Structure 1
Amino acid sequence: MKIKGITDVFFDLDHTLWDFDKNSALTFDKIFKTHQISINIVDFLKVYEPINLRYWKLYRDDQIDKESLRYRRLKESFDAVQTSVSDEVINKLAEDYIVSLPTFNHLFEGTLDLLEYLKPNYRLHIITNGFQEAQDKKMQQSKISEYFTTVTNSELAGVKKPNPIIFDFALNSATTVKTKSLMIGDNMEADVLGALNYGMDAICFNYHGSKIDEHIKQVTNLLELKSYL
């Protein structure tokens, strides 16, 4: 069923339009080869991905800072696969990861098709908890920047999703209101419940197939959004 009265559509970036897991895996493969770290990338990613999500939650909740996030997610992952890497190398890997990540530009299937479909009828925006320097590069390199009127990141807003202040900041930047706005993202806590609790409509991009409340709108493929918009 089409959602009526929407003028502004807000997207999360990582794990929603930009295929973070695929691009991250390619980045690790590259930087491990550069630093001659002999490690099975599949085994590493199996432990890294849940560790990374846990540290991002700590970062969202303001329990750790950016530098701690970047170091500790790697340190804990290397420890988990019993690979000894010095702090000096971990810090260099953390830097190289941020530099290299935006050079890989895989988008989720249907991203460009969807943006082309929406652009004539809506103003499109990004709300991301990612770091500004990385997010700007990701959007430019993957050639999606041109579709978006505003980009709000947590460093600009001073808080992270699901804090209502970041939604307020984004809507003010877009000169729009809650009743005319829709949030689309993969993370139930940060994107979907964050938006719903703020008072704007939301759709979960449930590509990971999580069990979610039946009352929450969801799609498993981006092109399914055409049934709502």
Structure 2
Amino acid sequence: MNNGIKHVFFDLDHTLWDFDKNSGLTFKKIFELNNINIELGTFLEVYEPINLKYWKLYREERVSKPDLRYGRLKEAFDTVGVSVNDDMINHLSVAYIDYLTTFNHLFEGTIEVLEYLQYKYHLHIITNGFEEAQERKMQNSKIRSYFKTVTNSEMVGVKKPNPKIFNFALNSAEANPNESMMIGDSLEADIEGAQKVGMRTIHFDYKDRHNGDDQVRVTQLKALINHL
């Protein structure tokens, strides 16, 4: 095994599964179905940072799952100045989860990289996403079979970067931290969280925003082959 690594752990959303693209297609679908008259590009530009903000609050146990699902939509509609009542927001929050996993675009190179790595390493997932949605994403995008274990925050009761979720995943995989690599897009949740338990890390900086950081970093998934 290269560099003593035997286990490679991936984040799912924004790392293998192209969340932004699939989310945009989902909103297009549910807005059409529910006659929400809004310019999609304008909405997504506002929604995406709000969604990240709510996920940070969720990681920090400052909002609940229902609060996240409602709050990110409510705040986005308010910001773009479109009036949508609470019943419709609640309906859209459910429809969003229902339709999200019907779109399954992966980042370019995902299958190629997993095919390459599966013969060299044991592959695993650590995700903060909701269990029912994450399982459907992996099944529908045909990547579930690559992973020996899948750890999500709902089964552990804490979220990345809490050390408990990484330790739970390591125990499930029967892996030692010093022979394990974590790959993810979030410096806080994936990279710093994994480093605190002694794992090695590669930052998937798909928006190419952190060139000055002192981290092993790739901007394309295929570049992982050079590191692993």
Q: Mark yes or no: TM-score above 0.5.
A: yes
Q: Which runs of 5+ in 2 are unaligned?
A: none
> Given the alignment of the two structures, is residue 133 of structure 1 paired with residue 142 of structure 2, yes or no?
no
Task: Tell me the alpha carbon deviations over residues 83-134 of structure 1, each in whole angstroms, 9 at most, x when there is no partner.
Answer: 0001000000000000100110100000000000000111000000000000
- CA distance in 1 between counterparts of 2:96 and 2:129 reads 14
- CA distance in 2 between counterparts of 1:215 and 1:226 reads 20
Q: Partner residue of 2:70?
A: 71
- CA distance in 2 between counterparts of 1:75 and 1:214 reads 34
Task: Detail structure 1 runs of 4+ shifted over 4 Å in the superposition.
Answer: none
Give the Å deviation of 1:211. 2.1
- CA distance in 2 between counterparts of 1:24 and 1:211 reads 24
- Corresponding residue SS for 1:38: coil
Q: Which runs of 5+ in 1 are unaligned?
A: none
- CA distance in 2 between counterparts of 1:93 and 1:182 reads 37
Task: Tell me the alpha carbon deviations over residues 46-71 of structure 1, each in whole angstroms, 9 at most, x when there is no partner.
Answer: 10000000000000000000000000
Identical counterparts, % of pairs: 59
Structure 2 residue identity aligned to 1:131? F
Q: Partner residue of 1:180?
A: 179
Structure 2 residue identity aligned to 1:189? E
- Corresponding residue SS for 2:164: helix
More displaced stretch, 212-221 vs 148-157: 212-221
Structure 1 residue identity aligned to 2:132? E
Structure 1 residue identity aligned to 2:126? I
How do residues 48-67 of structure 1 correspond to structure 2 at under 5 angstroms? Answer: 48-67=47-66
Q: Partner residue of 1:197?
A: 196
Give the Å deviation of 1:214. 4.0
Q: Partner residue of 1:148?
A: 147
- Corresponding residue SS for 2:148: strand
Q: Partner residue of 1:170?
A: 169
- CA distance in 2 between counterparts of 1:51 and 1:163 reads 22
Structure 2 residue identity aligned to 1:4? N
- CA distance in 1 between counterparts of 2:160 and 2:71 reads 21
Structure 1 residue identity aligned to 2:163? P
- CA distance in 2 between counterparts of 1:93 and 1:72 reads 12
- CA distance in 2 between counterparts of 1:74 and 1:56 reads 13
Give the Å deviation of 1:209. 1.2
Q: Partner residue of 2:209?
A: 210
Number of residue pairs matched by the alignment:
228
CA-based RMSD of the aligned residues comes to 1.0
Structure 2 residue identity aligned to 1:122? Y
- CA distance in 1 between counterparts of 2:215 and 2:50 reads 27
Structure 1 residue identity aligned to 2:9? F
